Amino acid sequence: MHTPVLSITRTPLVAVYGTLKRGLRNHHWLEGADFLGSDRLTSATLYDLGPFPGAKPETSRGVEVEVFRVDATLLTELDRLEDFRPRQPHAGLYRRAIHVTAFGPAWLYLYNPEVVGCVAIRQGGWWP
């Protein structure tokens, strides 16, 4: 079982679960990043928000993520895309937290707003 590690550790890894995955509409943001492989996280549950998913730090049976090695510049660009606000992490659309993956600790973007009425994905992945 993968458990989240909640720290401000600097890591060059990002685990993606939605439109940033290979073959989907925002994957071009990860140009230049090294694809390390896929994993299943039991430390997060995805919610289908319609045009994209959002992850919450809730136990699941394993949601699919793709793990990439990124540099600091690309991580900053991803933060802008995901509306992550480092000085006010709960004010943006997403916040970041470290989750353990098969490739090492990786940032996972967690959805801030409520997900009442949204379909939970507790196993597998999200596809448009």
Q: Name the active-site residue from 31, 64, 82, 114.
A: 82
CA 84 → CA 38, 57, 63, 97, 119, distances in Å?
23, 16, 22, 11, 23
Active site (annotated) includes residue 82: yes
- Beginning with the edge strand found earlier in the chain, give each strand of the sheet holding 53-56 in spatial order: 53-56, 45-48, 119-121
Indicate which residues carry an active-site annotation. 82
